[in-house]
Amino acid sequence: MKEELFVSGRNIPNIDPYLNIWHWQIPLYLFLGGLAAGVLFFAGYFVVRGKEKKMQATVKWAPIIAPIALVLGLGALFWDLKHKLYFWQLYTTIRLESPMGWGAWTLMIITPISFVWVASYMKEIFPWWDWKFKFLDKFEAFVIKYRVYLAWVMMIYSIILGVYTGILLSAFNARPLWNTSILGPLFLVSGFSTGLAATIWISKDEKERKILSRIDLIFIFVELFLIVHLFMGFLAGSETAIEAARLFLGGQFTVSFWVFVVLLGLIFPATLETLELWGYHVPKWLPSALILFGGFMFRFIMVEAGQITRYLY
């Protein structure tokens, strides 16, 4: 038998009996960040590949989601801060060792890029659009001229953003569930998949949807592979890692993880997308909605469960 008890003093709000300092705001922030990263990456990708004409929704329409998602995500992060009035302190220091710090700076760069991207398509989307000021017209012409370069920068930053949503968690050595290097690529792939899902939902062009669905299927497949890899890594690891994995293998998160994330969020929509590619009729919004739901649940469960795992007690 081994038993450890607090005999004195400890029942600190949000720390005991288990850590619960991050609630829905952080997973929402991570989800929206991944979604924006996915949308922006593929917009950039098809411009760089010169497929702008073929992929209208991906390049022009879907990116509108990105600045909205990023601003909402930052809003959720701000909401979560306990000492809000000191928010600006994030930007008076550069701390490369802190994932939270470089995440804040990444958002500081990619958010304006996403606004500029969307703005440069405003006249194409809304023919009556008028910038009112001459210098804005000039700036727009400049952006359009060098759009391919902007696309490259956007692709690079969206990869950084996507990886960051996972690294934010994996850098916490103290939480065995998060402390694995797979989380970076896993969150990147999952974020890109949600971005694709949102784009498929928006697109009305049959051909474009088919291309996106094919790419999405690959991403879902890779994601499933990484999830298996994640658990294999835990089970081959230390006692604390094995205990972390047990939360999903018989423990309290088993049903929510395997049903909401893996079955409903990955396998079921992948099956629907495959059927659709084979020509069966599937409600258009359904696979996309499921992937988005699964993506959010994945982050929510990882953040909740990770806070329970620890070294001591």
Partner 1 sequence: MRYAMAIDTKKCVGCGDCVVACQTENNVPHGYCRDWIVERVDGTYPSLDLEFRSERCNHCDNSPCVRCCPTGASHIEDGGIVLVEHNKCIGCGACIQSCPYDARYSHPEGYVDKCTFCIHRVKKGQNPACVEVCPTKCLHFGDLDDPNSDVSLAIKDRKWKVLAPEAGTKPQLYFLT
Tell how far CA 109 is from the center of its chain: 17
Contact partners, residue 16, CB within 8 Å, separation at least 6 = 6, 10
Binds partner 1 by CB under 8 A, chosen from 50, 53, 92, 206: 92
Give, as ranges, the residues between 203 and 262 that touch partner 1 (CB under 8 A): 238
Please say which residue, 20 or 271, places its beta carbon nearer to partner 1: 20
Query: For residues 36 and 195, is the Cβ–Cβ distance under 8 A?
Result: yes
Indicate the burial class of 41 (C-beta count within 10 angstroms; 0-12, 13-18, 19 or more). buried
Decide if residue 98 touches partner 1 (CB under 8 A). Answer: yes
Indicate the burial class of 182 (C-beta count within 10 angstroms; 0-12, 13-18, 19 or more). middle
Decide if residue 310 touches partner 1 (CB under 8 A). Answer: yes
Indicate the burial class of 92 (C-beta count within 10 angstroms; 0-12, 13-18, 19 or more). exposed
Question: How many whole angstroms separate alpha carbon 210 and alpha carbon 199?
Answer: 12
Please say which residue, 12 or 134, places its beta carbon nearer to partner 1: 12
Please say which residue, 4 or 206, places its beta carbon nearer to partner 1: 4
Nearest to 188 by CA among 159, 213, 156, 227: 159
Stretch that binds partner 1, among 3-11, 50-58, 111-119, 197-205 (CB under 8 A): 3-11
Give, as ranges, the residues between 12 and 31 that touch partner 1 (CB under 8 A): 12-16, 19, 21-22
Stretch that binds partner 1, among 98-106, 185-193, 209-217, 226-234 (CB under 8 A): 98-106
Nearest approach, Cβ of residue 305 and partner 1 (Å):
13
Decide if residue 171 touches partner 1 (CB under 8 A). Answer: yes
Decide if residue 109 touches partner 1 (CB under 8 A). Answer: no
Query: For residues 194 and 38, is the Cβ–Cβ distance under 8 A?
Result: yes
Residue numbers at the binding site for partner 1 (CB under 8 A): 1-16, 19, 21-22, 80-84, 86-87, 89-90, 92-93, 95, 97-101, 104, 171-175, 238, 307, 310-313
